[in-house]
Structure 1
Amino acid sequence: MELDGKVAVVTGGTRGVGAGIARSLVAAGAKVLLCARRPPELPLPGTEFIQLDVRDGEAVRRVLTALPRLDILVNNAGGAPHRPLAPADAEHHLRVLELNLLAPLTVSLAAHRHLRRARGSIVMIGSVSGSRPSPGTAAYGAAKAGLEHLARSMAVEWAPQVRVNTLVVGMVRTERSHLHYGDADGIAAVSRTVPLGRLAEPTDVGAAAVFLASDAAAYISGASLLVHGGGERPAFLDAAGAAAVPGHKES
């Protein structure tokens, strides 16, 4: 199996995308430790849960340095509420930056000694929000942009012992999708905006994480792998199509 005998830590791995990544790592042969504030709502066979708030630097260092071995780190914990910039003060936005940018740095630094010894791999879970405007989640988008840049710099500083890459993830169908996209009709409508015609499943992200963590990606570091189903159809194409003169064709 691709990751047989490897030990992996997945932050925020108890639900949604993190749970999908954890399942994929287990299926590939890894022993998976889930680090999150709350235990999984549903059993995740092959995993072990460690209660941990990744924003607590002292606790992160205590937990990770005590591990006997670590080969793979997946920095998945993150997220943000919908919050327009102006109504909130900077301190509220800072909390989003702490979770989505500072926490992955904290966890990576705490894991560095283990990963260096194991010649291991870090997979950052980024977002398409880091490369396009993100109204309502601007701090989140800024954090994810910073995370991608951090990964590229980390990949250079920690080479050749540790590989570091980013999965740039688009829309994913999880147990909480209705909070973002509405009912089944809303999810179907959003799915039609994706070139591949559907939202990602958590295991789609998990399969990509397994690839980057495995020897199949042994010469890949400092890279950003897009997992977004082809991206977003440019709005101008639909607008131009609606405004086109019937029967007119460019030569």
Structure 2
Amino acid sequence: MILDRFKLTGQVAVVTGAGRGIGAATAVALAEAGADVLIASRTESQLEEVATRVADAGRRAHVVAADLSAPDAAAALASTAVSEFGRLDLVVNNVGGTYPRPLLESSVEFMEEAFRFNVATAHALTVAAAPALLETGGSVVNISSVMGRVAGRGFAAYGTAKAALAHYTRLAAADLAPRVRVNAISVGSVATSALEIVVGNPELKEKMESATPLRRIGEAADIAATVVFLASRAGGYITGKILEVDGGLQTPNLELGLPDLG
């Protein structure tokens, strides 16, 4: 049966930024596909809610409340997963994000922070998980962004970091082939807490939807389903690729209204 290729029965995943939004949806989707999950983020109460949903799907969750902006904290998740579950098959580097900021207000420190949070943490966890993933023939899925390939004012730090994560995906895939696959998802506008200001404003929401070829804002489940595909045998002949799950965007679908300089 073709649907059997999407199953993750008996596998173990680490999902960062799993307390809400895309990370939470991904953890639950992986559990529904048959995987046990280590879920990590800052807020333990949110993680406990996600763990309950994982249990409802019939799988185990292990909660780690940690500040994953520190690469060492991210790296530690790999050994914790192996200790807790006995193996590791999948890493989902979802934690990340950087607030928009005008170019001339983006300090070197701000750029470095964006790179650390969006790229260095993913690298730290991937390297730490590599021995276990090589043993199981597992995979890594990085969560990048459409802003890593399209240009919009105010996103110099975030877009540069996500573009770096996308190319890091290609490079890590080459290094870890053939045993470990590494892919990324270039995420468009998704209805999470980061987009609340838009989703809660009918005028802004309509403007964003009308500028999106598929005429809707994405759902966290759209990304979670793509993670399941990439992690499973259904995506077993894919590595070093960035899947664009963005409603068809070729340009930003919401401008920040930053003025010309001069």
Q: Percent sequence identity over matched residues?
A: 37
1:36-185 alignment, distance < 5 Å: 36-41=41-46, 43-44=49-50, 45-46=53-54, 47-66=61-80, 67=82, 68-180=86-198, 182-185=200-203
Are the aligned partners of 2:145 and 2:188 in contact in 1 as well (CA < 8 Å)?
yes
Answer with 12-21 or 54-63: which moved more: 54-63
Are the aligned partners of 1:4 and 1:28 in contact in 2 as well (CA < 8 Å)?
yes
Q: Deviations over 1:38-75 (max 9, x none)?
A: 22537121133212223333333434224231101000
* 1:208 maps to 2:222: no
1:221-232 alignment, distance < 5 Å: 221-232=239-250
Q: Indicate the structure with greater helix content.
A: 2
Q: How far, CA to CA, are the matches of 2:119 and 2:252 in structure 1?
A: 29
Aligned Cα RMSD in Å? 1.9
SS for the counterpart of 2:49 is coil
Amino acid at match of 1:201: E
SS for the counterpart of 1:78 is coil
Q: 1:4 aligns with which of 6, 9, 33?
A: 9
Amino acid at match of 2:124: T
Give the superposition deviation at 1:152.
0.5
Q: How far, CA to CA, are the matches of 2:252 and 2:227 in structure 1?
A: 28
Tell me, which stretches of 5 or more residues in structure 1 are unaligned? 236-251
Q: How far, CA to CA, are the matches of 1:186 and 1:227 in structure 2?
A: 21
Choose 1 or 2 for highest CA Rg: 1
Give the superposition deviation at 1:25.
1.0
Give the superposition deviation at 1:205.
0.3
Tell me, which stretches of 5 or more residues in structure 2 are unaligned? 55-60, 254-262
Amino acid at match of 1:166: A
Give the superposition deviation at 1:175.
3.5
Q: TM-score, normalised by structure 2?
A: 0.84
Amino acid at match of 2:69: R
Q: Label 1:63 to 1:223 Cα distance change in 2 as closer, same or farther (>3 A).
A: closer
Give the superposition deviation at 1:189.
2.5
Amino acid at match of 1:7: V
Answer with 10-19 or 34-43: which moved more: 34-43
Amino acid at match of 1:214: S
Q: How many residues align?
A: 235
Q: How far, CA to CA, are the matches of 1:92 and 1:121 in structure 2?
A: 31
Q: Deviations over 1:204-232 (max 9, x none)?
A: 00000000000011111011111011114
Are the aligned partners of 2:26 and 2:221 in contact in 1 as well (CA < 8 Å)?
yes
Amino acid at match of 1:91: E
Which residue in the other structure is 1:242 paired with?
none
Q: TM-score, normalised by structure 1?
A: 0.87
Q: How far, CA to CA, are the matches of 1:144 and 1:49 in structure 2?
A: 26
Which residue in the other structure is 1:30 paired with?
35
Amino acid at match of 2:158: Y
Amino acid at match of 2:205: I
Answer with 179-188 or 73-82: which moved more: 179-188
Q: How far, CA to CA, are the matches of 2:252 and 2:163 in structure 1?
A: 21
* 1:19 maps to 2:50: no
Q: How far, CA to CA, are the matches of 1:169 and 1:180 in structure 2?
A: 16
